[in-house]
Amino acid sequence: MVKVDLLTRTLRDAAAFVPHWDEIDDLRRSLGLSGDVLLNPLHFLAATDGTRRSCSVACWRSGRLVGVLYATEHCVKGVGTGYAIGGDYSGRGLLLCSPADEQEVLTACMERIFADGVHSLHLRLLPQDRARFELPGMKLKFLDAVIPGDRLLLKPTFQEFLGSLGRHTRRNVRACTRKTQALGIQFVPSLTREEYESAVARLNAETDFPADPLRLARDERLLTLHGGGQRFGLRDAAGRLIAVLCGFSLGERFHLLTQLNDLGFERLSLSLVLRGAAIAHLIETGHTELQFMGGSSLSFGRFCQPENYRSIFVDRDSGLAATVKRLCSAWVRLTAGPETPVPETLAFLCSGYLESSRLSDRTALRPAAMVLRQRSAA
């Protein structure tokens, strides 16, 4: 058990962050993390909404800010449910602190979050300190794995970039691009917001797996925050947008938020074509890195730098919420076979009381295994 001797404070909204803005900025600079947008409180706050309220925590030692943990509590009609999450799908954006302070800051922040009424916490991180620890009165599960990462290094030219990919991926990018061009499909390097939103509305209505409207609204807030962002697309011979993606640039890194494709053109691998064309354009405009916000793609993810990832599921081990989770997880064990997917709402209710093999489905671990298998075959 880590001895914690830190002063902590909950940061529930922008007003709570503002008095500590300069301290957080100084800490980011001192750690060399000014370029990590996910640790920027403005970016974090822009991604919150009526269903995701900040329950972030700041920590001080002897009057000096030494850490911030960014997390949100799930809300229904403005009321907190007690379920909280921190870090993005690839484990970034959770902790702002030095590696030496990581476990103490993490433990202090967790204690504060649970003292504020949260009963279930899922933390996703790229740990510097891989030691495991305990919290009194809490049930903890640690899931560790190597994942492909979310940052793709670009090359000075597109041909050099293609040369850095696996043989099959390189061939697929070239072949699919030739097929689309032969059909009169062209890359559009600059869409207006109106063009993009119109295409998103149509593509989202026609797919079996539509993008969450809350995520699309979040995208627009982030694009606005970062100077309007960039919107790319593929337009067919009739002038209709059949694939779109959006993101924003900070320095020489492009952050890809969302991509949608017309399922009627599935055989043409529009996702691969559009990302290839977007990368060629980004290289031409001086970018040196592409970051997949919220997880890398299957096509390019295996060429990202691998990362040591950890998910920590923390739940109170007593009380009404713990009883509900035990009952829900017991029902899952009795009624669902090993290969039967658990409905997302039920998995959410069970939280860390689910079996570890099922918890991995709620993290980057299962997709990571698939991508890394593809990496070895590339």
Write the single-letter amino acid at 226.
H
Where residue 374 falls among pLDDT bands split at 50, 70, 90? low
Which candidate, 251, 246, 235, places its Cα nearest to that of 285?
A: 251
Which one-letter DSSP state was computed for residue 147?
A: E
- Structural domains for the chain: 7-146+307-377 (3.40.630), 151-293 (3.40.630.30)
Q: Is the Cβ–Cβ distance between 169 and 299 less than 8 Å?
A: yes
The yes-or-no verdict on residue 339 having pLDDT over 70 is: yes
Where residue 297 falls among pLDDT bands split at 50, 70, 90? low
The model's pLDDT over 76-115, given as tens digits with 9 standing for 90+, comes to 998 999 999 999 989 999 999 999 999 999 999 999 999 9
The model's pLDDT over 200-220, given as tens digits with 9 standing for 90+, comes to 999 998 887 788 899 999 999
Lateral strand order in the sheet of 289-292: 151-153, 289-292, 253-261, 241-250, 230-235, 186-188
Helices assigned H by DSSP within 207-307: 213-225, 270-284
pTM reported for the whole predicted model: 0.91
The yes-or-no verdict on residue 285 having pLDDT over 90 is: yes
- Percentage of the chain beyond pLDDT 70 is 94
120 by DSSP, 3-state: which?
A: strand
The yes-or-no verdict on residue 2 having pLDDT over 60 is: no
The yes-or-no verdict on residue 148 having pLDDT over 60 is: yes
- Residue 298 pLDDT: 63
The yes-or-no verdict on residue 377 having pLDDT over 60 is: no
